[in-house]
Amino acid sequence: MTATRQDRRTTSGRPVSRKLHGWVYFAMAGLAACYALSAWVGFAGSGYADYLLFIVTGFIMMSVALPAIASCVWRRHRVGNSFKTAAFADWMAGEFDTGDRPVKASTATIEILLPLAAVAFGMTAFAILAIVEN
């Protein structure tokens, strides 16, 4: 039988969470949508490009949809349905357990969202350059 670690408190008194707050998932989905929309706005037009953009958009949608579906299934079938979410400000003031050691939740959020934001905003910059060039 596998023992799971529950949310706990550190010696500093800040709560430690093993799961991301829902707003972080919404931000990740929003950045994925920004990436796909920027790719379509900047590079759609020819037949082959539209086909490839459709395929890439499908991959992006699946990378967002599969974790969302898994989360819904996990919430419905977990033992003890006492699912309460802390307020985002309270979650950010706490710590996030990375498996190795807890880090500040704000730092973990930045480290998770920064690569996604860089890709999404970079694609937006490429799309703007593509529009300006035409």
Structural domain spans, the chain: 20-76+95-133
The model's confidence at residue 86, banded by pLDDT at 50, 70 and 90, is confident
pLDDT in tens, 53-70: 999 999 999 999 998 898
Which DSSP letter does residue 6 get? P
pLDDT over 90 percentage in the chain: 55
Share of the chain above pLDDT 70, in %: 87
Most confidently predicted of 2-6, 9-13, 65-69: 65-69
User: What pLDDT is recorded for position 129?
Assistant: 95
The CA distance from 51 to 48, in Å, is 5
The residue with greater pLDDT, 110 or 80, is 110
Mean pLDDT over 14-43 rounds to: 91
What would the mean pLDDT of 87-96 be, rounded to a whole number? 91
pLDDT mean across residues, the chain: 86
Integer Cα distance of 105 and 19 in angstroms = 10
Specify whether the CB–CB gap between 38 and 120 falls below 8 A.
yes
Residues 69-85 as b/e (b if ≥16 CB within 10 A, e otherwise) read eeeeeeeeeeeeeeeee
